[in-house]
Amino acid sequence: MRDVLLAILLLPSIAHAGKDYVQVPAGTYRSALKYEEVKDDTRVAAFELMKTPVTNAEFLEFVRAHPEWQRDRIATVYAEKANYLSHWSAPLELGMAAKPQQPVTQVSWFAASAYCEAQHARLPLWAEWEYVAAADATRRDARNDPAWRESILGWYAKPSTTPVAEVGQSPANAYGVQDLHGLIWEWTEDFASMLVTGDDRSQSDANRLKFCGAGSLVTQDRENFAVLMRVAMLSSLEAANSTSNLGFRCARSLTDGGSP
Amino acid sequence: MKRLLLALMLAMPAVAVAGLPLPPDSVLQQDGVFTDQSGKVFHLAERRGHVQIVSMFYTSCKYTCPLMIDSGLGIEHALSPTQRDALRILLVSFDQQRDTPVVLQALAVKRHLDTQRWTLARADDGSVRKLAALLGVRYRKLGDGDFNHTSGLILLDAEGRILAKTDQIGPLPDPKFLAAVQTALHQPVSMTHR
């Protein structure tokens, strides 16, 4: 009897263990963003990243366990009620418009953060996301390859009314991570740290007074439109916003006790 | 016993208010753990019951951050003594490494801040990030340990709902923001929930 109980108790953790994380080794890369005080390449510590974005089915499991994140109960400071999970048919039902294996969208940064915290994880930092997203199927940094850039840009040209595909359909990149391009936009933990305003992406003196200290942002790789569009989009958001093609995946640090 | 409890509850309306859930649009719902200049640990929900001005800063900032304190002092100066007594001011640091309670206390002393009304606080990185997100403050840690951040003052009602914001900082208060503070201080503590 005790064994059965134990087995039942262990079940949820087994279910979560099903979500694959990929280990990403430490390294340096040249970010497409340049902050005026940063002279060197960006260093990324070893971490783990979910192989695919969080799905509707997985997020449904989360809101069942944490009712305060259901769309009918969520605090209005944490999400815009009109949008948050609005494509689900009911607070605890996906319905026809949200397939279980599609990435969850219409989630605010607060909700995405809470999901990751419940998995003892966090959202990835922008630098972590950009670092892993620089890879194609065989190279860790394929960004100088015009053909690869073109293939990524193809997605951005598609109308956003096209239904979002299911996760895990695209080939894994050199790290073993999927769907970084061509599926959805993704939240990062520090999306609000880019300090870019929508109509002035080079953030000239006009904006300087608004900020304390140095560290304005310019882009040093103007050809990398795919990344620049992500940055412009993320920096235009507030943490309670959600959109029909913005989702997330979680990350775990390997150095500060966040390892499994 | 029951009657005694009831009597206690009626005698202390603040306790009764604290027993109700915070309204859904209250930023005081953020459940991070904060530490003030005296080393006392608190949750934002404990700050319910007073109109307050909240801002984010860090003590080693040379230019803008002293102005944040000037801003708070400027507003206090423009208020009547009764209004001043009713207002609370909370400054939360981005810099959990360097802004220890000792450093925060030293700043409070240096700037002659009345800690009955002023709270200088720090928190873990996650709580700071969430509070900043709730307030609409953007910041980024620089390589040298400094921070680049938007600066402004946010006025909360006694239930923690955002009433007004201003980007104008310094000893001379933004007139619109000051008017909002004075209006808020004239409202009785709201117990209505949306």
Taking each helix axis from N to C end, the angle separating A225-235 and A126-133, rounded to the nearest 10 degrees, works out to 160
- pLDDT tens column, A150-198: 888 887 777 767 788 999 999 999 999 999 998 999 999 999 887 654 3
Residues of A with Cβ-Cβ distance to B151 under 8 angstroms: 210-212
Backbone angles phi, psi at A242, to 5 degrees: -150, 155
Write out the two tokens for B194: 């949306």
Instruction: Give the pLDDT mean for A206-225.
Output: 54
Backbone dihedral region for residue B25 (phi beyond 0: left; psi -120 to 50: alpha; all else: beta): alpha
Confidence of residue A208 (pLDDT cuts 50, 70, 90): very low
A212 touches chain B (CB under 8 A): yes
Given this model, what pLDDT does residue A41 score?
A: 87
pLDDT at A217 over 80: no
- Integer Rg of chain B from CA: 17
For A229-244, give one letter per residue: b (16+ CB within 10 A) or e: ebbbebbebebbbbee
The whole-angstrom separation of Cα B136 and Cα B16 is 30
Q: Count Cβ atoms below 10 Å from residue A85 Cβ, excluding itself.
A: 27
Confidence of residue A223 (pLDDT cuts 50, 70, 90): low
Say if residue A105 is exposed, middle or buried (CB neighbours under 10 Å; 0-12, 13-18, 19+).
buried
- Quote the percentage of chain A above a pLDDT of 70: 79
Residues of A with Cβ-Cβ distance to B63 under 8 angstroms: 212-213
- pLDDT tens column, B129-168: 999 999 999 888 887 788 888 888 999 999 999 999 998 8
Closest to A76 (Cβ–Cβ): which among B24, B63, B148?
A: B24
Given this model, what pLDDT does residue A167 score?
A: 96
The whole-angstrom separation of Cα B136 and Cα B162 is 11
Q: Choose from A17-26, A66-75, A197-206, A216-225 the range with maximum mean pLDDT.
A: A66-75
List, in sequence order, every residue forming a beta bridge with A35; answer none if it has no partner: A217
Given this model, what pLDDT does residue A128 score?
A: 96
Cα distances (Å, whole numbers) of residue A157 to A180, A214, A247, B131: 16, 35, 19, 36
- Of A3-7, A9-13, A100-104, A162-166, the range with the lowest mean pLDDT is A9-13
- pLDDT tens column, A96-147: 999 999 999 999 999 999 999 999 999 999 999 999 999 999 999 998 898 8
What distance in Å separates residue A195's CA from the closest CA in chain B? 7
Query: pTM (2 decimals)?
Result: 0.84
Given this model, what pLDDT does residue A201 score?
A: 36
Instruction: Give the pLDDT mean for A13-21.
Output: 60
The tens place of each residue's pLDDT in chain B, 194 residues long, gives 445 444 444 444 444 455 789 999 999 999 899 999 999 999 999 999 999 999 999 998 877 778 889 999 999 999 999 999 999 999 999 999 999 999 999 999 999 999 999 999 999 999 999 999 999 998 888 877 888 888 889 999 999 999 999 988 889 999 999 999 999 998 765 444 44
ipTM: 0.81
Residues of B with Cβ-Cβ distance to A190 under 8 angstroms: 129, 140
Taking each helix axis from N to C end, the angle separating B64-78 and B175-186, rounded to the nearest 10 degrees, works out to 50
Strands B88-93 and B52-57: parallel
The answer to whether B181 and B53 are in contact (CB under 8 A) is: yes
What H or E segment, with its residue span, contains residue A173? Answer: none
The whole-angstrom separation of Cα B77 and Cα B72 is 9
B63 touches chain A (CB under 8 A): yes
A198 touches chain B (CB under 8 A): no
First to last CA, chain A: 29
Between these two residues, A36 and A177, which has the higher pLDDT value? A177
- Of A37-46, A47-56, A215-224, B103-112, the range with the lowest mean pLDDT is A215-224
What would the DSSP string read from start to end of B132-163?
HHHHT--EEE-TTS-EEEE--EEEE-TTSBEE
The answer to whether A202 and A164 are in contact (CB under 8 A) is: no
* Strand segments (E) across B67-179: 88-93, 118-123, 139-141, 147-150, 153-156, 162-166
Instruction: Give the pLDDT mean for A53-73.
Output: 97
Residues of A with Cβ-Cβ distance to B150 under 8 angstroms: 195, 210-212
Cα distances (Å, whole numbers) of residue B151 to A24, A210, A211, A226, B155: 36, 7, 6, 30, 13
